Amino acid sequence: MRFSFALIAPFALALAACADNPAPQITAPTAITAGAVSSADPRATAAGEAILAQGGSATDAAIAVMLALTVVEPQSSGIGGGGFMLHAEGTNGALTSIDGRETAPAAATPTRFLDPQGKVLGRDARVFSGLSVGIPGNIALAAKAHAKHGALPWAALFQPAITLARDGFTMNRRLHESLAANKGRADRSETARAVFFGADGNPLPIGATVTIPALAETLTALGDAGPAAMYGSTAAAALAAYVAGETPQDGRMTAADVTAYAAKERAPVCAPYRAYRVCGMGPPSSGGVAVAQMLGQLEGFDIAALGPQSPQFWHLFVESQRLAYADRELYSGDADFVAVPTDGLVDAGYIRQRGALIALGTTLTTVEAGVPPGAPLARGDGPEEPESGTTHFSVVDAAGSAVSYTSTIEGAFGSGLYWGGFYLNNELTDFTLTPDENGKLVANRVEGGKRPRSSMAPTIVYDAQGRIVLVIGAAGGPTIPVQVARSIIGVVDFGMTAKAALGLPFIMSFGDAVLIEEGSALEAMEADLKALGHASIRKGAPPLKANALRRLPSGGWEIAVDPRLNGKLDYK
């Protein structure tokens, strides 16, 4: 597995969240008769609540949240990127899974990120250029979802975001700090500098009002004309020409690439856990499979009896991660291009077999990918750029329908390219940087029209009666499946509230090494974890940002945001 602790540092700077905000800005309606929204920024949450208050569906509200986050959380997601959405019907729980992941230009080749000598290009060349930009998918995803599950007119969903961009929003602490930490990326574009930075070259101060007239114009055009304002021939030609002009080598984006983009319905990945059914995204996301594998491998242990204060529990959890991520590295990719044995990876017998490798008192000496039913052999595992800039939001409407939506532009401020008032993604760096490893082709290699593998894990959990009981997801690159699985364990096994589950300590395996969350209860367990065989333990502050809605016995919903964001929401 190619993860390392070096990947954590960029994450800590890349993720951003939220702030309270004064008028004149979108404010929550005085009352919502039914439904709930959890997002990474209260202004985006308010946008979704406003749509619910107008009688909008969960899909309508989720789209409004995504659009508002484009304005107030530009470092993490937006219409310049893509995402994955799960929609569950409130009446019967029927699940729809939509893939809005970005695609590589048709002319992209497997050596896109290599120089003429076959060496990996430097980070600036491969990330901060058109080489990293995939065709954005969020607007196409939103349009596809709205056509199936929308209730309000399309244009109405854009109004909260338009108001924020036109009238202004407050520069909060997290955006300010992210801009400061990413100078050289966030300010690469002159137009972006004019929006977010002062004449002295520094980010606008906390509390300043930020307006983005160009984004208000873009959102208005999209609301009026629909997806044609991004994927129609005229808009596509302009976007493609800009990206192509910033692309130094390999296949450049064309208007045809943009007009051909389509969001796709995918089969969700569902697996049992205890008395529950856990459903997530399938390929090109690895998140649904990884969550299902981690949970399933632990089902043979009495997790509830051990409890979160037990080093043995965290040891078991780390071992399950090691096995799941070994499979992820070898098998996951875009199933339209490579054979992904999804059914085999979540096969109950295979997961039990993998779980049987885990021992309560010792660690696995070596961890390799397994051979699930239908697995293609002779696969390679190559190096990757770290994932980071992402956001998640969960919505439930008056009818009980639910949306779990994770949206991203990849790194903080994406590629740094700025177009129409929003940042363009650098998602293509989620492909493996080299096409083969020791003569074996890598599943996640670059190919024209292909979607890069993702760790995003929007998830919906059902109880034994088929009721939706948890709508959850997270941000943080490869930490996402770990955050989601840990939080599900907190709710299901430990009987926690969603807020308490999201606040559980974080621990993650990176190969044979283990990262534990600095300042958490895990620090006191370090000696015990080492005694269990985890010899290499590091402490750090990984970027954790999860959101959830949990069904209450009363029938209402607990709205939960990762408590680590407390104290970081101010704009003063």
Supply 36's token pair.
């709930």
pLDDT-derived band at 385 (thresholds 50, 70, 90) equals low
303-329 average pLDDT score = 96
433-452 average pLDDT score = 90
Look up residue 289 and give its amino acid.
V
125-130 average pLDDT score = 96
Domains in the chain: boundaries: 31-265+390-441, 266-383+457-565
Name the strand (E) or helix (H) holding 408: strand 402-410
Q: Which residue(s) pair with 408 in the sheet?
A: 82, 390
Quick one: pLDDT at residue 447? 97
Q: pLDDT tens for residues 386-398? A: 555 689 999 999 9
Quick one: pLDDT at residue 315? 98
Per DSSP, the residues of 202-225 read: SBPPTT-EE--HHHHHHHHHHHHH
pLDDT surpasses 80 at 7: no
191-202 average pLDDT score = 97
Quick one: pLDDT at residue 176? 96
Separation CA 182–CA 259 (nearest Å): 32
Q: pLDDT tens for residues 57-93? A: 999 999 999 999 999 999 999 999 999 999 999 999 9
Out of 163, 220, 390, 432, the active site residue is: 390
524-534 average pLDDT score = 96
352-363 average pLDDT score = 96
Quick one: pLDDT at residue 23? 32
pLDDT-derived band at 28 (thresholds 50, 70, 90) equals very low
Quick one: pLDDT at residue 377? 59
Task: Tabulate helix, strand, coil % of the chain (nearest 5).
Answer: 35, 20, 45
Residue appearing with tokens 């309508």: 60
Distances (CA, A) of 525 to 39, 522, 534: 32, 5, 11
Which pairing describes strands 513-517 and 536-540: parallel, antiparallel, or unpaired?
Answer: parallel
Separation CA 518–CA 475 (nearest Å): 18
In the annotation, is 408 catalytic?
Answer: no
Quick one: pLDDT at residue 185? 96
Three-point CA angle 290, 106, 458, nearest 5°: 25
pLDDT surpasses 70 at 131: yes
pLDDT surpasses 90 at 20: no
pLDDT surpasses 60 at 45: yes
- Find all residues with CB under 8 Å of 89, minimum gap 6, and list them: 95, 401
**What is the chain's mean pLDDT, rounded?**
91
CB 83 within 8 A of CB 391: no
Quick one: pLDDT at residue 500? 97
Quick one: pLDDT at residue 543? 81
Q: Angle between the 159-167 and 42-53 helix axes, to the nearest 10 degrees? A: 140
Q: How many CB atoms lie within 10 A of CB 495?
A: 10
314-324 average pLDDT score = 97
Q: Which residue(s) pair with 210 in the sheet?
A: 169
Q: pLDDT tens for residues 139-172? A: 999 999 999 999 999 999 999 999 999 999 999 9
CA-wise closest residue to 565 among 6, 16, 26: 16
Q: Domain 266-383+457-565 belongs to what architecture? A: Orthogonal Bundle (1.10)
Supply 550's token pair.
């949990």
Tell me the backbone φ, ψ of residue 115, rounded to 5 degrees. -85, 175
CA-wise closest residue to 391 among 403, 404, 415, 408: 408
Say what the pTM is: 0.93
348-373 average pLDDT score = 95
Q: pLDDT tens for residues 550-569? A: 999 988 999 999 998 765 55
CB 459 within 8 A of CB 278: yes
Q: Which residue(s) pair with 362 in the sheet?
A: none
302-318 average pLDDT score = 97
